[in-house]
Amino acid sequence: MAREAHDPHGEGLMEFALSEADAAFRSDLVGFLDRELAEGWSRSEHGLGSAVYTDFSRDFVRTLAAKGWLTPHWPREYGGGGQGAWQHFVLGEEMWKRGEPRGPQYMNVNWVGPALIKYGTEEQKRELLPPIARGDVFWCQGFSEPEAGTDLAALRTRAVREGEDYVLNGQKIWTSYANEADYCFLLARTGSVADGRNGISVFLLPLRTPGVDVRRIEGFVGEHSFNELFLTDVRVPGSCLLGEENKGWDIVRRTLAYERVGAPRYARAALVLDGLADWCRAAGLLTDPGVQEQFGQARALCEAARVLVYRVIDERAKAKEPSPMAYQARAAMVQAERAVGDLALDVMGSEALVEQSPGDAQFRNSLGAGIAAGSYEVQLNLISRLILKLPKE
């Protein structure tokens, strides 16, 4: 998609334009979504994790899968469409413009599946990939722990080898959709604590395994989506290990690069921004210079996030190794969502507090934006160290 554009001044500008095939795919997809989401789905007002959201997504992803549009970027032998990274991202962008009707499936198709394709055994691929491609299963992510949120290398959940099995003990927290999920992409320590990153392994854990206890975390911002995961003497076969024992950090590093930009939140923020502009126009507020300035700043942040994300997808499309650019793109998306959330509260006033209003929904989403897919502050630290090359304090 990205190519060098003609520049009479010879400055080598980069132009992002879809190929004819990807542009045609976007056009077909938009028409499909206009028809499929005409009834029973709000474009911007469903909260992530709500019962309405999750129930709708279960049926919707199967319809999407039937058209071959749930995993267009996967190899055909694993239920995909054999298309490139850009078609996959066009799909994600259009979904997030509609409030992401795929629900938690975006995790499955964006990074769980690619991790399985790259690191899984043939048996794991045959068993686990087709159900994802059909939209039949949900996955969740078992990374964060009470004492290891932003510092995954400090995790304490243990996996001890006993014969052909592993026995898992520990706790995970902030596990989105664990109450609905069938599997968990779980990190556990197979080496010593002193090994740090070198003693971590990845397990593909069926959540119906005895000893797994999922407990709901009540949220103060509305809908339920977070859970705690308690593992007590959970016995799983060695075939649940993904990749090599103690080599899980390499998998995690690649996985997180996919996750950082897997949810193009700027697209949803821009959708809400358009709705707020309509609201302000009807209320006679859009002629106010101060309001215009706020809208301009929020729109600029959405566009900046979009271009930065496109640079990451361009790297992926060219089969380059993940770069620190993903951290920059992730931080920009958080800034965009927060700017639109703040704008909603400023211009709508008390009406932004009405449940499921655009202001209410965006405020709640912006609160979680700086935590989901890696905390905003950690992204800034990574940017300072890996991009700006600043010394650690």
3-state secondary structure the chain: CEEECCCCCCCCCEEECCCHHHHHHHHHHHHHHHHHCCCCCCCCCCCCCCHHHHHHHHHHHHHHHHCCCCCCCCCHHHCCCCCCHHHHHHHHHHHHHCCCCCCCHHHHHHHHHHHHHHHCCHHHHHHHHHHHHHCCCCEEEECCECCECCCHHHCCCEEEEECCEEEEEEEECCCCCCCCCCEEEEEEECCCHHHHHHHEEEEEEECCCCCEEEEECCCCCCCCCCEEEEEEEEEEEHHHEECCCCCHHHHHHHHHHHHHCCCCHHHHHHHHHHHHHHHHHHCCCCCCHHHHHHHHHHHHHHHHHHHHHHHHHHHHHCCCCCCCHHHHHHHHHHHHHHHHHHHHHHHHHHHHHCCCCHHHHHHHHHHHHCCCCCCHHHHHHHHHHHHCCCCCC
The pLDDT tens digits for 362-375 are: 777 777 666 666 67
**pLDDT computed for residue 5 by the predictor:** 41
Out of 1.10.10.60, 1.10.540.10, 3.40.50.11440, 1.10.1040.10, the CATH code matching 18-137 is 1.10.540.10
Q: What is the pLDDT of residue 2?
A: 46
Domain ranges across the chain = 18-137, 141-247, 261-387
Identify the CATH homologous superfamily for domain 141-247. Butyryl-CoA Dehydrogenase, subunit A, domain 2 (2.40.110.10)
pLDDT digits (tens, 9 = 90+) for 1-20: 544 444 444 455 556 678 88
Within the chain, which residues score under 50 in pLDDT?
2-10, 43-46
The predicted structure's pLDDT at residue 268: 86
261-387 is classed CATH 3.20.20.70? no
